[in-house]
Structure 1
Amino acid sequence: MPDSPTGRAHDVVLRHIEDSLHSGALKLGDRLPGERALAEQFGISRASVRDAIRTLEVMGVVRSATGSGPNSGTIVVSDPSSALGVALRMHVASHHLPLKDVVEARMMMETWSLEHAASVPWTPEQLNDARLLLEAMDDDALPSQIFTLLDTQFHVALSALAGNVVVSTMMESMREAIRGYIDDAVARRGTWDEVVPTLREHHRGIFEAVEAREGERAARLVREHIEWFYRQAL
Protein backbone atom coordinates (compact mmCIF):
# COMPACT_ATOMS: atom_id res chain seq x y z
CA MET A 1 0.00 0.00 0.00
CA PRO A 2 1.98 3.04 -1.24
CA ASP A 3 2.04 6.41 0.49
CA SER A 4 0.32 9.30 -1.25
CA PRO A 5 -0.55 12.90 -0.33
CA THR A 6 -4.23 12.04 -0.11
CA GLY A 7 -4.10 8.44 1.03
CA ARG A 8 -3.80 7.54 4.69
CA ALA A 9 -1.29 4.76 4.51
CA HIS A 10 -1.13 4.48 8.27
CA ASP A 11 -4.75 3.21 8.27
CA VAL A 12 -3.50 -0.21 7.22
CA VAL A 13 -1.47 -0.44 10.44
CA LEU A 14 -4.48 0.64 12.52
CA ARG A 15 -6.67 -2.00 10.85
CA HIS A 16 -4.00 -4.65 11.40
CA ILE A 17 -3.73 -3.80 15.14
CA GLU A 18 -7.51 -3.83 15.53
CA ASP A 19 -7.81 -7.22 13.80
CA SER A 20 -4.94 -8.65 15.86
CA LEU A 21 -6.51 -7.48 19.13
CA HIS A 22 -9.89 -8.88 18.09
CA SER A 23 -8.45 -12.27 17.16
CA GLY A 24 -6.25 -12.50 20.24
CA ALA A 25 -3.03 -12.46 18.26
CA LEU A 26 -2.18 -9.31 20.25
CA LYS A 27 -2.92 -9.01 23.96
CA LEU A 28 -2.41 -6.43 26.69
CA GLY A 29 1.28 -6.18 27.52
CA ASP A 30 2.46 -7.39 24.12
CA ARG A 31 5.06 -5.33 22.28
CA LEU A 32 4.51 -4.25 18.68
CA PRO A 33 7.19 -4.87 16.05
CA GLY A 34 9.53 -1.95 15.39
CA GLU A 35 8.89 0.82 12.86
CA ARG A 36 11.12 -0.72 10.22
CA ALA A 37 9.48 -4.14 10.49
CA LEU A 38 5.97 -2.70 10.21
CA ALA A 39 6.96 -0.46 7.30
CA GLU A 40 8.39 -3.42 5.41
CA GLN A 41 5.44 -5.66 6.28
CA PHE A 42 2.89 -3.25 4.83
CA GLY A 43 4.98 -1.52 2.16
CA ILE A 44 4.55 1.94 3.66
CA SER A 45 6.98 4.55 4.93
CA ARG A 46 8.28 4.66 8.49
CA ALA A 47 6.69 8.10 8.78
CA SER A 48 3.29 6.50 8.15
CA VAL A 49 4.03 3.88 10.79
CA ARG A 50 4.92 6.66 13.26
CA ASP A 51 1.62 8.39 12.45
CA ALA A 52 -0.25 5.17 13.19
CA ILE A 53 1.57 4.69 16.50
CA ARG A 54 0.84 8.29 17.54
CA THR A 55 -2.84 7.75 16.71
CA LEU A 56 -2.93 4.57 18.81
CA GLU A 57 -1.26 6.42 21.70
CA VAL A 58 -3.89 9.17 21.59
CA MET A 59 -6.58 6.47 21.55
CA GLY A 60 -5.08 4.91 24.68
CA VAL A 61 -4.33 1.62 22.91
CA VAL A 62 -0.52 1.65 23.12
CA ARG A 63 2.25 3.30 25.11
CA SER A 64 5.60 4.10 23.50
CA ALA A 65 8.91 4.53 25.29
CA THR A 66 12.38 4.99 23.90
CA GLY A 67 15.55 3.33 25.17
CA SER A 68 16.10 -0.26 26.14
CA GLY A 69 14.71 -2.58 28.77
CA PRO A 70 11.37 -4.23 29.52
CA ASN A 71 9.38 -0.98 29.29
CA SER A 72 10.86 0.24 26.00
CA GLY A 73 9.22 0.03 22.60
CA THR A 74 5.51 0.20 21.82
CA ILE A 75 3.42 -1.83 24.26
CA VAL A 76 -0.29 -2.63 24.03
CA VAL A 77 -2.18 -1.07 26.96
CA SER A 78 -5.79 -0.11 27.62
CA ASP A 79 -6.60 3.39 28.83
CA PRO A 80 -9.94 4.25 27.20
CA SER A 81 -11.10 6.81 29.77
CA SER A 82 -8.04 9.00 29.17
CA ALA A 83 -8.55 8.93 25.40
CA LEU A 84 -12.28 9.62 25.67
CA GLY A 85 -11.62 12.39 28.18
CA VAL A 86 -9.25 14.15 25.80
CA ALA A 87 -11.72 13.87 22.92
CA LEU A 88 -14.64 15.12 25.01
CA ARG A 89 -12.58 18.00 26.40
CA MET A 90 -11.66 19.13 22.89
CA HIS A 91 -15.25 18.98 21.65
CA VAL A 92 -16.53 20.81 24.72
CA ALA A 93 -13.88 23.49 24.13
CA SER A 94 -15.03 23.85 20.51
CA HIS A 95 -18.63 24.25 21.77
CA HIS A 96 -19.73 21.34 19.58
CA LEU A 97 -20.68 19.48 22.77
CA PRO A 98 -22.41 21.92 25.13
CA LEU A 99 -21.21 21.61 28.72
CA LYS A 100 -24.83 21.45 29.88
CA ASP A 101 -25.45 18.37 27.72
CA VAL A 102 -22.33 16.63 29.03
CA VAL A 103 -23.48 17.27 32.60
CA GLU A 104 -26.95 15.88 31.82
CA ALA A 105 -25.45 12.76 30.23
CA ARG A 106 -23.22 12.28 33.25
CA MET A 107 -26.23 12.63 35.56
CA MET A 108 -28.20 10.00 33.61
CA MET A 109 -25.36 7.49 33.83
CA GLU A 110 -24.56 8.15 37.47
CA THR A 111 -28.15 7.90 38.68
CA TRP A 112 -28.52 4.63 36.75
CA SER A 113 -25.27 3.32 38.25
CA LEU A 114 -26.17 4.07 41.86
CA GLU A 115 -29.68 2.66 41.49
CA HIS A 116 -28.35 -0.46 39.76
CA ALA A 117 -25.57 -0.93 42.34
CA ALA A 118 -28.20 -1.67 44.99
CA SER A 119 -29.09 -4.98 43.32
CA VAL A 120 -25.71 -6.33 42.17
CA PRO A 121 -22.96 -8.00 44.24
CA TRP A 122 -19.97 -5.98 45.42
CA THR A 123 -17.61 -6.34 48.35
CA PRO A 124 -16.95 -4.04 51.33
CA GLU A 125 -13.43 -3.65 49.96
CA GLN A 126 -14.81 -2.14 46.76
CA LEU A 127 -16.91 0.33 48.72
CA ASN A 128 -13.90 1.16 50.87
CA ASP A 129 -12.27 2.92 47.90
CA ALA A 130 -15.08 5.49 48.00
CA ARG A 131 -14.95 5.65 51.82
CA LEU A 132 -11.26 6.58 51.80
CA LEU A 133 -11.89 9.32 49.24
CA LEU A 134 -14.77 10.62 51.35
CA GLU A 135 -12.49 10.82 54.39
CA ALA A 136 -9.74 12.53 52.37
CA MET A 137 -12.17 15.28 51.35
CA ASP A 138 -12.74 16.15 55.03
CA ASP A 139 -9.32 17.83 55.15
CA ASP A 140 -9.97 21.58 55.50
CA ALA A 141 -6.50 22.35 54.12
CA LEU A 142 -7.25 20.83 50.70
CA PRO A 143 -7.04 23.31 47.80
CA SER A 144 -10.20 23.34 45.68
CA GLN A 145 -8.38 21.73 42.74
CA ILE A 146 -7.37 18.73 44.86
CA PHE A 147 -10.85 18.47 46.34
CA THR A 148 -12.44 18.38 42.88
CA LEU A 149 -9.97 15.69 41.80
CA LEU A 150 -10.93 13.55 44.82
CA ASP A 151 -14.57 14.39 44.16
CA THR A 152 -14.22 13.00 40.63
CA GLN A 153 -12.63 9.81 41.91
CA PHE A 154 -15.33 9.44 44.58
CA HIS A 155 -18.18 9.57 42.08
CA VAL A 156 -16.40 7.19 39.71
CA ALA A 157 -15.70 4.74 42.57
CA LEU A 158 -19.37 4.64 43.56
CA SER A 159 -20.52 4.28 39.95
CA ALA A 160 -18.10 1.38 39.45
CA LEU A 161 -20.12 -0.66 41.97
CA ALA A 162 -22.76 -1.15 39.27
CA GLY A 163 -20.29 -3.40 37.49
CA ASN A 164 -20.67 -1.85 34.03
CA VAL A 165 -17.19 -1.13 32.68
CA VAL A 166 -18.45 1.00 29.76
CA VAL A 167 -20.50 3.24 32.06
CA SER A 168 -17.58 3.58 34.49
CA THR A 169 -15.23 4.51 31.65
CA MET A 170 -17.65 7.08 30.25
CA MET A 171 -18.26 8.50 33.73
CA GLU A 172 -14.55 8.98 34.33
CA SER A 173 -13.96 10.53 30.92
CA MET A 174 -16.86 12.98 31.25
CA ARG A 175 -15.85 14.04 34.73
CA GLU A 176 -12.29 14.64 33.56
CA ALA A 177 -13.51 16.52 30.47
CA ILE A 178 -15.37 19.11 32.55
CA ARG A 179 -13.28 19.27 35.74
CA GLY A 180 -11.17 22.14 34.40
CA TYR A 181 -14.31 24.19 33.76
CA ILE A 182 -15.43 23.54 37.33
CA ASP A 183 -12.06 24.62 38.73
CA ASP A 184 -12.18 27.81 36.65
CA ALA A 185 -15.74 28.57 37.72
CA VAL A 186 -14.90 28.06 41.40
CA ALA A 187 -11.88 30.36 41.09
CA ARG A 188 -13.93 33.08 39.36
CA ARG A 189 -16.79 33.01 41.85
CA GLY A 190 -14.56 32.86 44.92
CA THR A 191 -17.22 31.09 47.00
CA TRP A 192 -15.41 27.80 47.63
CA ASP A 193 -15.43 28.09 51.44
CA GLU A 194 -19.20 28.47 51.31
CA VAL A 195 -19.74 25.58 48.90
CA VAL A 196 -17.46 22.86 50.31
CA PRO A 197 -19.39 22.12 53.56
CA THR A 198 -22.52 21.37 51.52
CA LEU A 199 -20.55 19.19 49.12
CA ARG A 200 -19.28 17.13 52.06
CA GLU A 201 -22.79 16.77 53.45
CA HIS A 202 -24.12 15.66 50.05
CA HIS A 203 -21.28 13.16 49.61
CA ARG A 204 -21.92 11.59 53.01
CA GLY A 205 -25.62 11.22 52.25
CA ILE A 206 -24.96 9.61 48.88
CA PHE A 207 -22.38 7.25 50.36
CA GLU A 208 -24.69 6.17 53.18
CA ALA A 209 -27.52 5.45 50.73
CA VAL A 210 -25.22 3.36 48.53
CA GLU A 211 -23.83 1.51 51.56
CA ALA A 212 -27.40 0.72 52.69
CA ARG A 213 -28.24 -0.44 49.14
CA GLU A 214 -31.03 2.12 48.91
CA GLY A 215 -30.76 2.58 45.17
CA GLU A 216 -33.64 4.97 44.60
CA ARG A 217 -32.52 7.27 47.43
CA ALA A 218 -28.91 7.21 46.22
CA ALA A 219 -30.01 8.10 42.68
CA ARG A 220 -32.23 10.93 43.93
CA LEU A 221 -29.51 12.34 46.19
CA VAL A 222 -26.85 12.30 43.48
CA ARG A 223 -29.23 14.00 41.03
CA GLU A 224 -29.99 16.74 43.55
CA HIS A 225 -26.28 17.04 44.35
CA ILE A 226 -25.25 17.48 40.72
CA GLU A 227 -28.03 19.97 39.99
CA TRP A 228 -27.19 21.98 43.10
CA PHE A 229 -23.46 22.06 42.44
CA TYR A 230 -23.72 23.19 38.83
CA ARG A 231 -26.09 25.96 39.85
CA GLN A 232 -23.37 27.18 42.22
CA ALA A 233 -20.38 26.70 39.95
CA LEU A 234 -21.55 27.51 36.41
Structure 2
Amino acid sequence: MTAGEAGAAPRGRTHDALLKDIEADLRSGRIKLGDRLPGERALAEAYGISRASVREAIRVLDAMGVLRRSVGSGPTSGAIVISDPSVGLSSALRLHVASSRLPVADIVETRILLETWSARAAAARDVSDEDLVQAAGLLHAMDNTGIDRATFHELDARFHVALSSLAGNAVVATMMESLSGSIVGYVKGAMGAMEDWPEVLAVLRAQHHGIFGAVRARDGDLAARLLEEHIEWFHQQAKAATGGAVPDPNGSAGSLPAG
Protein backbone atom coordinates (compact mmCIF):
# COMPACT_ATOMS: atom_id res chain seq x y z
CA MET A 1 0.00 0.00 0.00
CA THR A 2 1.40 3.41 -0.96
CA ALA A 3 1.21 6.62 0.97
CA GLY A 4 -1.55 7.75 -1.37
CA GLU A 5 -3.67 4.83 -0.18
CA ALA A 6 -2.69 5.10 3.45
CA GLY A 7 -3.61 8.78 3.84
CA ALA A 8 -1.60 11.26 5.87
CA ALA A 9 1.98 10.23 6.52
CA PRO A 10 4.38 11.13 9.33
CA ARG A 11 5.67 14.70 9.46
CA GLY A 12 9.03 15.41 7.89
CA ARG A 13 8.48 13.45 4.66
CA THR A 14 10.37 14.99 1.74
CA HIS A 15 10.14 14.92 -2.03
CA ASP A 16 12.21 11.70 -1.99
CA ALA A 17 9.31 9.97 -0.27
CA LEU A 18 6.91 11.17 -2.94
CA LEU A 19 9.23 9.88 -5.66
CA LYS A 20 9.18 6.43 -4.05
CA ASP A 21 5.40 6.54 -3.66
CA ILE A 22 4.88 7.50 -7.30
CA GLU A 23 7.24 4.70 -8.35
CA ALA A 24 5.14 2.26 -6.33
CA ASP A 25 1.93 3.60 -7.87
CA LEU A 26 3.40 3.20 -11.37
CA ARG A 27 4.37 -0.39 -10.57
CA SER A 28 0.93 -1.21 -9.22
CA GLY A 29 -0.91 0.44 -12.09
CA ARG A 30 -2.61 3.08 -9.93
CA ILE A 31 -0.79 5.64 -12.11
CA LYS A 32 -0.47 4.90 -15.84
CA LEU A 33 1.02 6.53 -18.93
CA GLY A 34 -1.13 9.43 -20.04
CA ASP A 35 -2.59 10.05 -16.59
CA ARG A 36 -2.71 13.62 -15.36
CA LEU A 37 -1.63 13.99 -11.74
CA PRO A 38 -3.78 15.97 -9.31
CA GLY A 39 -2.77 19.50 -8.33
CA GLU A 40 -0.17 20.36 -5.71
CA ARG A 41 -2.63 20.63 -2.86
CA ALA A 42 -4.27 17.29 -3.62
CA LEU A 43 -0.90 15.55 -3.97
CA ALA A 44 0.36 17.09 -0.73
CA GLU A 45 -2.70 15.85 1.14
CA ALA A 46 -2.72 12.41 -0.50
CA TYR A 47 0.97 11.72 0.05
CA GLY A 48 1.37 13.51 3.35
CA ILE A 49 4.06 16.02 2.37
CA SER A 50 4.30 19.79 1.96
CA ARG A 51 3.38 21.56 -1.26
CA ALA A 52 7.01 22.70 -1.55
CA SER A 53 8.11 19.05 -1.49
CA VAL A 54 5.49 18.24 -4.12
CA ARG A 55 6.87 20.97 -6.40
CA GLU A 56 10.41 19.67 -5.93
CA ALA A 57 9.36 16.09 -6.71
CA ILE A 58 7.52 17.21 -9.85
CA ARG A 59 10.61 19.13 -11.02
CA VAL A 60 12.77 16.04 -10.50
CA LEU A 61 10.34 13.76 -12.34
CA ASP A 62 10.10 16.27 -15.18
CA ALA A 63 13.89 16.36 -15.51
CA MET A 64 13.96 12.56 -15.48
CA GLY A 65 11.46 12.40 -18.34
CA VAL A 66 8.78 10.70 -16.24
CA LEU A 67 6.38 13.64 -16.31
CA ARG A 68 5.68 16.62 -18.53
CA ARG A 69 4.63 19.74 -16.66
CA SER A 70 2.16 22.22 -18.12
CA VAL A 71 1.50 25.73 -16.86
CA GLY A 72 -1.77 27.51 -16.33
CA SER A 73 -4.96 26.40 -14.65
CA GLY A 74 -7.99 24.34 -15.48
CA PRO A 75 -8.37 20.81 -16.90
CA THR A 76 -5.29 21.06 -19.10
CA SER A 77 -2.90 22.12 -16.32
CA GLY A 78 -0.81 19.86 -14.13
CA ALA A 79 1.70 17.11 -14.84
CA ILE A 80 1.12 14.25 -17.27
CA VAL A 81 2.86 10.86 -17.02
CA ILE A 82 4.86 10.40 -20.25
CA SER A 83 7.87 8.21 -19.36
CA ASP A 84 10.58 9.28 -21.83
CA PRO A 85 13.65 7.62 -20.26
CA SER A 86 16.17 9.00 -22.75
CA VAL A 87 15.51 12.56 -21.51
CA GLY A 88 16.81 11.98 -18.00
CA LEU A 89 19.63 9.68 -19.04
CA SER A 90 20.83 12.07 -21.73
CA SER A 91 20.87 15.06 -19.39
CA ALA A 92 22.78 13.18 -16.71
CA LEU A 93 25.32 11.78 -19.15
CA ARG A 94 25.81 15.18 -20.80
CA LEU A 95 26.68 16.80 -17.46
CA HIS A 96 29.15 14.04 -16.59
CA VAL A 97 30.76 14.31 -20.03
CA ALA A 98 31.09 18.07 -19.46
CA SER A 99 32.81 17.39 -16.12
CA SER A 100 35.21 14.97 -17.87
CA ARG A 101 34.06 12.18 -15.55
CA LEU A 102 32.87 10.32 -18.64
CA PRO A 103 35.43 10.65 -21.46
CA VAL A 104 34.06 11.21 -24.93
CA ALA A 105 36.24 8.34 -26.16
CA ASP A 106 34.40 5.98 -23.80
CA ILE A 107 31.04 7.26 -25.06
CA VAL A 108 32.22 6.61 -28.62
CA GLU A 109 33.38 3.10 -27.74
CA THR A 110 30.03 2.34 -26.09
CA ARG A 111 28.19 3.60 -29.15
CA ILE A 112 30.22 1.24 -31.31
CA LEU A 113 29.35 -1.70 -29.06
CA LEU A 114 25.63 -0.89 -29.13
CA GLU A 115 25.37 0.00 -32.81
CA THR A 116 27.32 -2.97 -34.11
CA TRP A 117 25.27 -5.32 -31.91
CA SER A 118 22.08 -3.65 -33.13
CA ALA A 119 23.10 -4.07 -36.76
CA ARG A 120 23.62 -7.79 -36.34
CA ALA A 121 20.44 -8.17 -34.28
CA ALA A 122 18.40 -6.30 -36.89
CA ALA A 123 19.72 -8.58 -39.63
CA ALA A 124 18.81 -11.62 -37.55
CA ARG A 125 15.27 -10.26 -37.17
CA ASP A 126 15.05 -9.82 -40.95
CA VAL A 127 13.51 -6.36 -40.73
CA SER A 128 11.09 -5.39 -43.49
CA ASP A 129 11.40 -2.54 -45.99
CA GLU A 130 8.62 -0.81 -44.07
CA ASP A 131 10.82 -0.81 -40.97
CA LEU A 132 13.49 1.06 -42.93
CA VAL A 133 11.26 3.95 -44.02
CA GLN A 134 12.29 6.29 -41.20
CA ALA A 135 16.02 5.73 -41.70
CA ALA A 136 15.63 6.08 -45.45
CA GLY A 137 13.84 9.41 -45.03
CA LEU A 138 16.59 10.73 -42.75
CA LEU A 139 19.23 9.56 -45.21
CA HIS A 140 17.45 11.41 -48.02
CA ALA A 141 17.18 14.58 -45.91
CA MET A 142 20.93 14.50 -45.20
CA ASP A 143 21.58 14.50 -48.93
CA ASN A 144 20.04 17.98 -49.27
CA THR A 145 22.69 20.12 -50.95
CA GLY A 146 21.80 23.22 -48.95
CA ILE A 147 21.86 21.57 -45.53
CA ASP A 148 23.66 23.38 -42.70
CA ARG A 149 25.90 21.69 -40.16
CA ALA A 150 23.48 21.86 -37.24
CA THR A 151 20.63 20.32 -39.24
CA PHE A 152 22.90 17.63 -40.63
CA HIS A 153 24.04 16.72 -37.12
CA GLU A 154 20.45 16.48 -35.87
CA LEU A 155 19.46 14.22 -38.77
CA ASP A 156 22.66 12.19 -38.39
CA ALA A 157 21.92 11.50 -34.71
CA ARG A 158 18.33 10.50 -35.50
CA PHE A 159 19.58 8.23 -38.32
CA HIS A 160 21.82 6.28 -35.96
CA VAL A 161 19.05 5.97 -33.36
CA ALA A 162 16.62 4.80 -36.06
CA LEU A 163 19.03 2.09 -37.19
CA SER A 164 19.65 0.94 -33.62
CA SER A 165 15.92 0.71 -32.96
CA LEU A 166 15.66 -1.93 -35.69
CA ALA A 167 17.15 -4.44 -33.25
CA GLY A 168 13.84 -4.38 -31.39
CA ASN A 169 15.43 -3.76 -27.97
CA ALA A 170 13.82 -0.80 -26.18
CA VAL A 171 16.65 -0.49 -23.65
CA VAL A 172 19.33 -0.37 -26.35
CA ALA A 173 17.32 2.20 -28.33
CA THR A 174 16.96 4.35 -25.21
CA MET A 175 20.66 4.07 -24.40
CA MET A 176 21.57 5.00 -27.96
CA GLU A 177 19.39 8.09 -27.87
CA SER A 178 20.85 9.04 -24.49
CA LEU A 179 24.45 8.54 -25.63
CA SER A 180 23.80 10.60 -28.73
CA GLY A 181 22.33 13.40 -26.63
CA SER A 182 25.20 13.27 -24.15
CA ILE A 183 27.76 14.43 -26.72
CA VAL A 184 25.57 16.73 -28.80
CA GLY A 185 27.59 19.79 -27.73
CA TYR A 186 30.88 18.02 -28.43
CA VAL A 187 29.81 16.97 -31.92
CA LYS A 188 28.36 20.36 -32.83
CA GLY A 189 31.49 22.09 -31.61
CA ALA A 190 33.71 19.72 -33.55
CA MET A 191 31.69 20.19 -36.74
CA GLY A 192 31.93 23.94 -36.34
CA ALA A 193 35.71 23.69 -36.05
CA MET A 194 36.14 21.61 -39.23
CA GLU A 195 37.60 23.86 -41.92
CA ASP A 196 37.32 21.06 -44.49
CA TRP A 197 33.60 20.50 -43.75
CA PRO A 198 32.53 19.98 -47.42
CA GLU A 199 35.00 17.11 -47.74
CA VAL A 200 33.97 15.66 -44.38
CA LEU A 201 30.31 15.94 -45.35
CA ALA A 202 30.91 14.04 -48.60
CA VAL A 203 32.60 11.19 -46.71
CA LEU A 204 29.85 11.06 -44.08
CA ARG A 205 27.17 10.85 -46.75
CA ALA A 206 28.99 8.04 -48.54
CA GLN A 207 29.45 6.17 -45.26
CA HIS A 208 25.78 6.55 -44.36
CA HIS A 209 24.66 5.20 -47.70
CA GLY A 210 27.02 2.25 -47.36
CA ILE A 211 25.72 1.46 -43.88
CA PHE A 212 22.10 1.77 -44.96
CA GLY A 213 22.73 -0.43 -47.99
CA ALA A 214 24.20 -3.17 -45.79
CA VAL A 215 21.26 -2.94 -43.38
CA ARG A 216 18.77 -3.08 -46.25
CA ALA A 217 20.61 -6.12 -47.64
CA ARG A 218 20.28 -7.76 -44.18
CA ASP A 219 24.08 -8.11 -44.01
CA GLY A 220 24.61 -7.56 -40.29
CA ASP A 221 28.34 -8.22 -40.28
CA LEU A 222 29.00 -5.73 -43.09
CA ALA A 223 26.74 -3.12 -41.50
CA ALA A 224 28.51 -3.59 -38.16
CA ARG A 225 31.95 -3.19 -39.74
CA LEU A 226 30.92 -0.08 -41.67
CA LEU A 227 29.34 1.44 -38.56
CA GLU A 228 32.50 0.91 -36.53
CA GLU A 229 34.67 2.42 -39.26
CA HIS A 230 32.28 5.36 -39.64
CA ILE A 231 32.09 6.20 -35.93
CA GLU A 232 35.83 5.87 -35.36
CA TRP A 233 36.60 7.94 -38.49
CA PHE A 234 34.42 10.83 -37.39
CA HIS A 235 35.83 10.74 -33.86
CA GLN A 236 39.33 11.07 -35.28
CA GLN A 237 38.22 13.97 -37.49
CA ALA A 238 36.68 15.66 -34.46
CA LYS A 239 39.85 15.26 -32.40
CA ALA A 240 41.97 16.64 -35.23
CA ALA A 241 39.66 19.64 -35.70
CA THR A 242 39.69 20.57 -32.01
CA GLY A 243 43.24 19.63 -31.10
CA GLY A 244 41.95 17.04 -28.64
CA ALA A 245 40.02 19.59 -26.58
CA VAL A 246 36.35 19.43 -25.66
CA PRO A 247 34.84 22.00 -28.05
CA ASP A 248 32.18 24.53 -27.16
CA PRO A 249 29.14 24.18 -29.45
CA ASN A 250 29.22 27.99 -29.80
CA GLY A 251 32.54 27.79 -31.52
CA SER A 252 35.38 27.89 -28.95
CA ALA A 253 37.33 24.96 -27.54
CA GLY A 254 37.83 24.21 -23.89
CA SER A 255 41.00 22.96 -22.25
CA LEU A 256 39.75 19.57 -21.10
CA PRO A 257 40.88 16.44 -22.96
CA ALA A 258 38.23 14.82 -25.15
CA GLY A 259 39.71 11.37 -24.65
- Alpha-carbon separation, structure 1, partners of 2:202 and 2:80: 44
- Aligned residue for 2:38? 33
Q: 1:154-169, aligned counterparts within 5 Å?
A: 154-169=159-174
1:216 and 1:232 mapped to 2: Cα distance? Answer: 24
Q: CA deviation at 1:70?
A: 4.9
Choose from 227, 232, 240 the match for 1:227: 232
Match of 1:99 among 84, 88, 104: 104
Aligned position for 1:195: 200
With the length of structure 2 as denominator, give the TM-score of the two structures: 0.86
Structure 1 vs Structure 2 CA RMSD: 1.3
Query: Displacement, 1:37?
Result: 1.4
Q: 2: CA distance between counterparts of 1:41 and 1:22?
A: 18
- Residue of structure 2 in register with 1:63 after alignment: 68
- Corresponding residue for 2:255? none
**Do the aligned partners of 2:71 and 2:77 also contact (CA within 8 Å) in 1?**
yes
* Distance in 2 (alpha carbons) for counterparts of 1:129 and 1:23: 35
Q: How does 1:71-86 map to 2 (within 5 A)?
A: 71-86=76-91
Shift of residue 40, structure 1, vs aligned partner: 1.7
Q: 2:130, 2:74 → 1: CA distance?
A: 35
Between stretches 77-86 and 206-215, larger displacement belongs to 77-86
What residue in structure 2 maps to residue 9 of structure 1?
14
Tell me whether 1:207 sits opposite 2:216 in the alignment. no
The partner residue of 1:88 within 82, 87, 93 is 93
One-letter amino acid of the structure 2 residue matched with residue 232 of structure 1: Q
Q: Which moved more, 1:171-180 or 1:62-71?
A: 62-71
2:68 aligned counterpart, secondary structure: strand
Shift of 1:173: 0.9
Structure 2 residue identity aligned to 1:96: R
The answer on 1:124 being equivalent to 2:133 is: no
Task: Measure the CA separation in 2 of the matches of 1:70 and 1:205.
Answer: 50
Number of equivalences = 230
Superposition deviation, residue 162 in structure 1: 0.4
Code of the aligned partner of 2:11: P
Q: 1:15-26, aligned counterparts within 5 Å? A: 15-26=20-31
SS of 1:119's equivalent?
A: helix
Q: 1:125 to 1:172 in 2, by over 3 A?
A: same
CA contact (8 A) 2:126 2:218 kept: no
1:142 equivalent in structure 2: 147
Specify the SS of the correspondent of 2:143.
coil
Moved more, 181-190 or 143-152: 181-190
CA distance in 2 between counterparts of 1:70 and 1:133 reads 37
Structure 1 position 67, deviation (Å): 2.1
**Cα distance in structure 2, aligned partners of 1:203 and 1:169:** 21
What amino acid sits opposite 1:55 in the alignment? V
Question: How much does 1:132 deviate?
Answer: 0.6
Q: Deviations over 1:148-201 (max 9, x none)?
A: 110001111111110001000100111111121111112123221110000010
Q: Provide the residue aligned with 2:186 in structure 1.
A: 181
**TM-score, normalization: structure 1?**
0.94
**Contact 1:2-1:9 at 8 Å conserved across structures:** no
Identity of aligned residues (%): 56
Q: CA–CA distance in 2 between the matches of 1:71 and 1:174?
A: 33
CA contact (8 A) 1:115 1:219 kept: yes
Q: Quote the Cα distance in structure 2 between the aligned partners of 1:49 and 1:99.
A: 36
Segments of structure 1 that go 5 or more residues without pairing to the other structure are: none
1:218 equivalent in structure 2 = 223
One-letter amino acid matched to 2:191: V
